[in-house]
Amino acid sequence: MKPATDLCFTCQKGATKVARAKHLGEERKSEALQEFEEHLETVTKERSFYKTICDEVKAQIPSNLNLGPHDPSSFDDGTIAAKIFSDRPKTLHKLLKVPLPIPTELPKLINPPGLDNKRQWYLYNEIREFVDEAYRDIAAPLPQQPQLSQHEPSAADISADVSQPPPAKVRKKGKGKKGGSQ
């Protein structure tokens, strides 16, 4: 694969024509070289004009303006600027059909319920010894409520007892002996 080039098609064609003309007569060589030099002169003038225009525009931009290398692609009203294809210009699209108010304050904090008493005591009695000493009071602290005895039911156990009784076992019908019928 040939290396990529930033030359225009006419420059590429002209350079190839000059390179191939070395085996031709002097008249064809000078003709190919003349065409290529005319094109290069035109391109040099265009490039110079382009640089002048760019420098004039850069001089008009305030020096403290810092937009970064890219245009903003989203706006506060729910509009975004996007390209359908990479070679097409950006078009604006409204994401919301009905504009929604943007919240100005944080949502209410929802505190999780935490572990129940039985689980806290399990962590303290069974797991705490395996935790690094520096983190024991964080991972398995001493619970605030007293430990329930084994025969004392907890609130979770009481609510579980009030639920419906377990479903009755359903007997599966067995098949007869292999190879024969009953």
Please tell me the predicted confidence (pLDDT) of residue 27: 83
Written as tens digits, the pLDDT of the chain (182 aa) is 566 667 788 888 888 888 887 777 888 888 888 888 898 899 899 889 989 988 888 888 777 665 555 555 555 666 778 888 888 888 887 777 776 777 788 889 898 888 999 999 999 999 999 999 999 999 999 999 998 776 555 555 555 555 555 566 666 666 655 555 54
Please tell me the predicted confidence (pLDDT) of residue 164: 57
Please tell me the predicted confidence (pLDDT) of residue 32: 83
The dihedrals phi and psi of 178, each to the nearest 5 degrees, come to: -65, 135
Please tell me the predicted confidence (pLDDT) of residue 74: 58
Residue corresponding to tokens 């990479």: 86
Please tell me the predicted confidence (pLDDT) of residue 88: 86
Give me the long-range contacts of 146-150 (CB less than 8 A, separation at least 24). 147/117, 147/121, 148/117, 148/118, 148/121
Question: How far does CA 99 lie from the centroid of its chain?
Answer: 25
Among 79, 81, 80, residue whose Cα is nearest residue 99: 79
Please tell me the predicted confidence (pLDDT) of residue 16: 82
Q: pTM of the full predicted structure? A: 0.31
Q: And the tokens for 95?
A: 């994401």
Q: Are 66 and 72 in contact (CB under 8 A)?
A: no
Q: Are 117 and 145 in contact (CB under 8 A)?
A: yes
